[in-house]
Each structure stands twice: as structure tokens, then as C-alpha cells.
Amino acid sequence: MAIIPVPQLSDNYAYLVIDDTSKQCGVVDCAEADKVIAEVERRGLQLIAVLPTHWHHDHVGGNEDLVRAIPGLCVYGARGEHGRIPAQTHEVDDGDTVEVASLKARVIGIPAHTNGHIAYYFAALNAVFTGDTLFIAGCGRVFEGRAQTMVDSLAKLAALPDSTQVYCGHEYTEKNLRFALTLEPNNQALKSKYEWAKDERAAGRYTVPSTIRDEKQFNPFLRTDSPELRANLKQLVPTLADDKVAVFAKARELKDKF
């Protein structure tokens, strides 16, 4: 069992999820089929399934090319995306189980970035694929839902076991941490994660995965209860209401312009 990131476009990640025994694998989010197929072949694997997190082009743009190259491929797609997943063969919904050879994942509905955005939670791998909903130290833009929708979706992910490894859709970590520091400049976990991320990126390494435990310590969108974060937002907006959703919405709005 292994998870291998395959960089796509300028800052996207596809991930191979590999069943060692059968040498079969699935790919979570594919923008560029050639790069995914090359990695599959280099490792002597057989690609059997495509697991898209949401319909945006940088997460499904490679689907048509994949099925052309590998006939019979199973392509999952969330019901909530209403057929917008190219080459979709199997519809899934919150709570369903998808299979990649002997590996099983629970589908978790996490709408807001898109209405049908889903995560894939592989309990046996202790890993969750969060697409553009939960990033390392950040979250996706709210395109199709409301602030409340995203707060609820993030809460579902935060409720996974602390040790769960978080594999997200983009390498946005360094910029996310820079923004987070504007809200919690004295958060020690955040400061050290930022130093770490700068070194990793300078060395050309990926910052994925993180863990649910880590995200709770430095991700501003999971830290709407933090007194420091709230105080800093209130300096900017003295009338800001004291509820989670209002705090989230303000932080998200600032990040949109960061």
C-alpha cells in the first residue's frame, strides 16, 4: 500500500493509490493523463480506477485521455456534480464505499467549493484525499456553496482521526501559511510549519501530506475559535459577530484578496 504524488500542471497533485499485492492502482484527480500513465508504467502497475474529487478542469482534465488509453477504466463521479465529471462510469454519494483492488475508501460529501465535492477516506491507509476543500494551512474558495456549507464540510474532515494523513489538490502551502501568519503571528506551530515549508519548497520537495492533528494546530479555517485569530479579525472589523461562520467568512474573504 502506497500513495504517490504525481505533479500536474503548475501546482496540482494527482495521487496514485497502490494495492501492492495486485499491483493495481487508482488515481485521485487527473489533469494530465500522460504524466499519470508514465508513472503507472514506470512502477509496473495497472491503473483500474479514477477517483475525482470535483468537476474542475484541473482535477478531471485528463479523464478522457485516460479512458482512451486504458479501456474499461472505472471512473467515479459524485452525484452532486450532476454529470460534470468527464468519462464518468460510476456515480457515488456521501457514505458510499469505492474500491481500488483490495483497498476501500469511504466517500465523504464535502460541498462548498463545488456542490458535489467529495473526499476519499482510506481508513486502512490512514489517509484522506481532500481535493480543493482542505489544503495544508488553507481551504478552497467557496464557489458553489455558502460559508456555512464550507464550515460544515471542514468540520467533517476535522472529525477524522488525528493521525489521518491529508493529501490535498494543490501545492499552496507556503502562501497559505504566509496568510495564516497575518491572523495568528504568535502561533508557534504555525511559525515552525512556515519555516519548514520554505525549506522544503526551496529544496524542490512536496509539502504533502500533513495530518488532521497538524491542521487543527495551524490551519486558520479550522481555528475560528482561536482568541488570537478572532482578536486580529476584530481589529479589522470591530462589528464582526462572535460566531464561527462569520469568523470563517471574514477570514475566507481576506484570503481571497491576499
Which residues in this chain contact Fe ion in the complex, by CB under 5 A? 58, 132, 169
Query: By the 8 A CB rule, do 198 and 150 touch?
Result: no
Contact 185, 230 (CB under 8 A): no
- 59 versus 223: smaller Cβ distance to Zn ion: 59
Q: Looking at beta carbons only, is 12 or 224 nearer to Fe ion? A: 12
Q: Which listed residue (56, 65, 96, 152) is catalytic?
A: 56
Residue 105, sorted as left (phi over 0), alpha (psi -120 to 50) or beta, turns out to be beta
Least Cβ distance, residue 89 to Zn ion (angstroms): 22
- Is 90 one of the catalytic residues? no
> In 10 A of CB 169, how many CB atoms?
29
Of 168 and 181, which CB lies nearer to Fe ion in the complex structure? 168
Smallest distance from Zn ion to CB 55, Å: 8
Q: Which residue's CB is nearer to Fe ion, number 11 or number 34?
A: 11
Question: Any catalytic annotation for residue 58?
Answer: yes
Q: How far is the CB of 168 from Fe ion (least distance, A)?
A: 9
Give min distance, CB of 54 to Zn ion, in A: 6
Choosing from 96, 170, 225, 256, the catalytic residue is 170
Clarify whether 56 is annotated catalytic: yes
Known catalytic residue: 256?
A: no
Annotation marks residue 132 as catalytic: yes
Contacts of 68 (CB under 8 A, 6+ apart): none
199 is catalytic: no
- List residues near Zn ion by CB under 5 A: 56, 132
Catalytic-labelled residue, pool 19, 29, 117, 132: 132
Angle separating helix axes 244-256 and 227-236, nearest 10 degrees: 60
Give me the catalytic one of 54, 94, 117, 152. 54
Query: Toward Fe ion, which CB reaches closer, 58 or 184?
Result: 58
- Shortest approach of Fe ion to residue 130 CB, angstroms? 11
* Catalytic option among 113, 117, 199, 242: 113
Q: DSSP strand E in 9-109: where?
A: 12-19, 24-28, 46-51, 74-78, 90-92, 97-100, 103-109
- Rounded to 5 degrees, φ, ψ at 89 are -115, -25
For 209: left if phi > 0, alpha if psi spans -120 to 50, otherwise beta; the answer is: beta
**170 belongs to the catalytic site:** yes
The three cell numbers locating residue 226: 482561536
Cβ within 8 Å of residue 36, ≥6 positions away: 6, 8, 14, 16, 27, 30, 47, 62, 66
So which residues are the catalytic ones? Answer: 54, 56, 58-59, 113, 132, 170
